[in-house]
Amino acid sequence: MKNILNISAYLFVGISDPQLLREQLLQQARHARVLGTVLIATEGINLFLAGQADGVRGFLSWLRSDGRFAAIEAKESWSEGYPFRKLLVKVKSEIIRMNHPAIQPSQGRAPAVDAQTAQRWLAQGHDDDGRPVVTLDTRNGFEVDHGTFDGAIDWRLDKFSDFPAALDAHKTQFEGKTVISFCTGGIRCEKAAIYMREAGLQNVWQLDGGILKYFEETGGAHFKGSCFVFDERRALDAGLEAEQA
């Protein structure tokens, strides 16, 4: 019986008191009896948690009661057991490391394309203005090996902080095209899309909610394989079920 609710969520928002927030989050997460990881930085919050549904949703409700996090949205999936062994709440320099401090999504994010629109563009091969559409996988190479969109561009990144240099080396291949940057849950492609626009590429979109939201809303059309996740389930199929070994 799948009675453990798993959530992934992030929000880029200015946080002036990350250490104080860490103590509050740790106390509340323990009270909710959830396991997983919460990352906090001055640029925002990123979390992967699992527990009984009432505990997880109670924790989210508490988090949203803080006006800074009222807009946070969570992707949900279910499992038979906890895919995490402990609870970690950490303060980091970035919630997703890019090593480009000027990239601040909390000060204005790149345009996002929703799952249904992305599916339609991929089916027709072009966007609504007739430009060819390409998908750009911003994840690490080992994640891509589990699955990705048909024909997606994959630069075999070892880590996300390699993305800026990879873009600088390949930028010309996007001329005259619309680019959909994507990742697991949206956090990496959000930073990537901003960087691409600041590099002079105009027709760049981030896939809103990432692959997990795309699976939830489209059933995985145009996606081959599964989506790697950083917990003991290892990868999820298009039905958000753990991939069978």
- Residue numbers annotated as active site: 183
Could you give phi then psi for residue 132, rounded to 5 degrees? -60, 145
**What CA–CA distance (Å, rounded) separates 204 from 161?**
19
Q: In a 3-state reduction of DSSP, which class is residue 118? A: helix
**What CA–CA distance (Å, rounded) separates 151 from 223?**
9
H or E stretch covering 167: helix 163-170
Place of tokens 């990123």: 46
Cβ-defined contacts of 229-238 (< 8 Å, 24+): 229/8, 229/83, 229/184, 230/48, 231/6, 231/36, 231/48, 231/50, 231/83, 231/84, 232/83, 232/84, 232/85, 233/6, 233/79, 233/83, 235/146, 235/147, 236/77, 236/212
For residue 216, which of 123, 83, 77, 82 has the smallest C-alpha distance?
77
